[in-house]
């Protein structure tokens, strides 16, 4: 340990800490616009400068290691003046059209300017002309707002391993963006929105569907239904000042009703259906291989996360046969809302508008895929991120935290705890194992509280195996088979796992991959700012929701039993294939 003083407070800190980390540990906030926890400091913004006794110049706290006996001042006059100058220079180049900016309420640059007492424009620098890149369905990029902090470059390259964004050119001409400043849709961007989640200003943000949703709600000729993704309920409250991990399922339902939706449903219903279909598909592939001794593409990959599907299409097209043919729960829901539910209420598909609330920006892109029109029209019409829903709730004047606990509508709002955990890394796999194990053996999944412990938590790649003992006679070919599974979250980890599989070092039967770190609870459309401690709290909330449910396995959801009896027949039936499955082209 080193003994140092920060603002005259004596503290003992680990020898390998930076000044920024030591200050945070001591409860002292040093502002920064470029630092991302867990990544090498960039030192790009220079906002975190501090005064170190004996040093001639101010030092960047993010990149300066502590030394024994160091005396640091984080808020001296000299520091405040330097920090103020840095922020004023950033503002002089920034297109600060705050009145119309999406980040009006939570812009880190604006907050810092207010904190530093900047009230007018001292320097008027040269500014880029506004040039909105709205070439993708999910994201928009406004280069004139970019402050070149490079957080987006870090997440796109180091976390996601995608590499769609780079710093280019020098001096005033420096820009951050796709190669040669081309539009985002001309490079291999998977539209995950992790860049938008870390952008401190409004330079990258989700494509706005708010006006379109209000227009649909105002149209008396439209029956407008909403589905809410599993991860929303553990994060939406943060937009209203509640602690990360506060469950707001019931208040969210009440808010959606108050906004005028005709029915409030749950993507979780379709997540349960996904388990029935994806679990049956896995058993079918295992039957082919182990019983019929035919070829089968194994491991089977999960297919619910659209950024992951796009990543596979761009980077590993030869592995597309491994991906489950199941559509994502969002898209299964859309197809059923415009067929099964439409029949029930006597409406045509085109009279129904399906709105999704998703933690994910890539869901906006997924809804527009040409494969996703099996109801005869576009199955999901609009996708709001968690942040957009919060803005709509605020705009509608609803006092969110005061709302009563509402209940989802039947039948597409009924779900099991297995569906809740889709939101967490490892959750789709655990949900699938709860059902597959019981279908094959007739007994519940062993393990405490139906959990598969090695698959939980934030480690990047996780593995587990399970022996199928005393199986039912119809599955005798699976007797004593060790089912091996793996889970990866964040596309950088996905790439490592795929390379391992291609090198013959990972002999798995089933693999879950989620695009975003932590799974959907860490999606690119979730409330800012998401770090690992926030992810962990959301994950705990989701497990709590699961454990509090009377039904915790997808195959025990009575609404699922009913839809098979009334409409679909059985998993993998012809109608299931038509509405719930799809095919991606290699
Ligand atoms: Fe997800 Fe999914 S869990 S992909 O992470 O399979 O976005 O929440 O809705 O579709 O159910 C996201 C979350 C979500 C789908 C489900």
Q: From CA 251, how far away is CA 233, in angstroms rounded?
A: 9
- With a 6 A CB cut-off, is 271 part of the ligand 1 pocket? yes
206, 238, 277, 281: which one is catalytic?
Answer: 281
Q: Give the torsion sign (CA, 231, 440, 458, 164).
A: negative
| CA–centroid distance for 513 within its chain | 12
Quote the pLDDT of residue 121. Answer: 86
Supply the residue whose CA is at minimum distance from atom 5 of ligand 1: 520
Nearest to 545 by CA among 231, 227, 269: 231
Cβ(334)–Cβ(354) below 8 Å: yes
Cβ(143)–Cβ(178) below 8 Å: no
- What is the DSSP code (8-state) at residue 102? T
Query: 566 C-alpha to center of ligand 1: Å?
Result: 25
Q: From CA 329, how far away is CA 334, in angstroms rounded?
A: 9
Is 304 considered catalytic here? yes
| CA–centroid distance for 497 within its chain | 19
CA distances from 326 to 58, 280, 300, 455 (A): 56, 10, 11, 22
Interface confidence, given as ipTM, is 0.94
Cβ(22)–Cβ(29) below 8 Å: no
* Pair type for strands 263-266 and 223-228: parallel
Is 520 considered catalytic here? yes
Quote the pLDDT of residue 535. Answer: 98
Is 278 considered catalytic here? yes
Nearest to 60 by CA among 72, 68, 69: 72
Q: Which of 252, 272, 311, 329 to mutate to test the pocket of ligand 1 (most atoms within 8 A of CB)?
A: 329
Supply the residue whose CA is at minimum distance from atom 12 of ligand 1: 520
Quote the pLDDT of residue 586. Answer: 61
Supply the residue whose CA is at minimum distance from atom 11 of ligand 1: 271
Which atom of ligand 1 is found nearest the CA of 520? 5
Report the run of H or E that residue 281 belongs to, with start and end: helix 267-286
- Please state whether the predicted TM-score (pTM) of the whole model is above 0.90: yes
Cβ atoms within 10 Å, residue 104: 13
Ranges of residues in the chain with a pLDDT under 50 are: none
Is 51 considered catalytic here? no
- With a 6 A CB cut-off, is 526 part of the ligand 1 pocket? no
Query: 363 C-alpha to center of ligand 1: Å?
Result: 9
Is 281 considered catalytic here? yes
């Amino acid at each position: 340990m080193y003994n140092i003083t920060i603002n005259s407070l004596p503290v003992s800190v680990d020898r390998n800490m930076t000044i920024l980390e030591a200050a945070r540990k001591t409860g002292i906030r040093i502002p920064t616009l470029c630092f991302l926890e867990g990544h090498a400091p960039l030192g790009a913004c220079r906002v975190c400068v501090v005064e170190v006794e004996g040093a001639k110049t101010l030092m960047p706290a993010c990149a300066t290691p502590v030394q024994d006996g160091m005396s640091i001042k984080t808020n001296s006059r000299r520091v405040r003046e330097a920090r103020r100058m840095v922020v004023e220079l950033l503002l002089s180049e920034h297109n600060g059209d705050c009145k119309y900016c999406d980040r009006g309420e939570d812009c880190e640059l604006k907050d810092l300017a207010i904190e530093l007492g900047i009230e007018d424009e001292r320097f008027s620098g040269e500014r880029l002309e506004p040039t909105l890149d709205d070439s993708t369905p999910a994201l928009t990029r406004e280069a004139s707002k970019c402050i070149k902090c490079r957080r987006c470059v870090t997440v796109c390259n180091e976390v996601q391993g995608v590499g769609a964004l780079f710093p280019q050119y020098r001096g005033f001409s420096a820009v951050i963006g796709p190669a040669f400043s081309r539009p985002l849709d001309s490079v291999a961007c998977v539209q995950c929105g992790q860049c938008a989640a870390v952008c401190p200003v409004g330079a990258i943000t989700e494509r706005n569907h708010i006006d379109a949703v209000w227009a649909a709600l105002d149209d008396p000729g439209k029956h407008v239904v909403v589905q809410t993704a599993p991860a929303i309920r553990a994060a939406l409250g943060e937009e209203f000042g509640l602690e990360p991990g506060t469950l707001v399922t019931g208040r969210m339902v009440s808010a959606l009703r108050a906004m005028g939706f005709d029915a409030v449903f749950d993507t979780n219903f379709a997540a349960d259906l996904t388990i029935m279909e994806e679990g049956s598909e896995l058993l079918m592939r295992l039957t082919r291989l182990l019983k019929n001794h035919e070829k089968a593409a194994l491991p089977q990959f999960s297919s619910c996360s659209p950024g992951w599907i796009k990543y596979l299409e761009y980077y590993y097209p030869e592995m597309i046969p491994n991906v489950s043919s199941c559509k994502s729960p969002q898209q299964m829901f859309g197809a059923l809302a415009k067929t099964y539910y439409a029949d029930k209420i006597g409406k045509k598909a085109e009279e129904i508008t399906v709105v999704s609330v998703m933690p994910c920006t890539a869901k906006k892109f997924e809804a527009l895929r040409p494969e996703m029109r099996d109801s005869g029209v576009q199955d999901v019409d609009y996708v709001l991120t968690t942040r957009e829903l919060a803005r709509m709730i605020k705009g509608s004047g609803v006092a969110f935290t005061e709302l009563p606990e509402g209940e989802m509508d039947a039948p597409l709002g009924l779900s099991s705890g297995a569906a809740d955990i889709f939101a967490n890394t490892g959750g789709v796999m655990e949900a699938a194992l709860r059902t597959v194990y019981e279908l094959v053996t007739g007994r519940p999944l062993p393990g405490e509280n139906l959990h598969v412990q090695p698959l939980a938590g934030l480690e990047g790649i996780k593995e587990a195996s399970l022996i199928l003992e005393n199986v039912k006679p119809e599955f005798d070919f699976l007797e004593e088979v060790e089912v091996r599974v793996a889970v990866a979250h964040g596309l950088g980890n996905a790439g490592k796992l795929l390379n391992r599989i291609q090198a013959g070092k990972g002999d798995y039967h089933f693999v879950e991959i989620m695009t975003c770190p932590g799974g959907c609870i860490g999606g690119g459309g979730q409330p800012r700012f998401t770090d690992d401690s926030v992810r962990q709290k959301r994950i705990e909330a989701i497990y709590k929701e699961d454990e509090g449910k009377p039904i915790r396995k997808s195959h025990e959801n009575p609404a699922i039993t009913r839809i098979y009896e009334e409409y679909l027949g059985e998993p993998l039936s012809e109608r299931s294939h038509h509405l719930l499955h799809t095919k991606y082209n290699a």
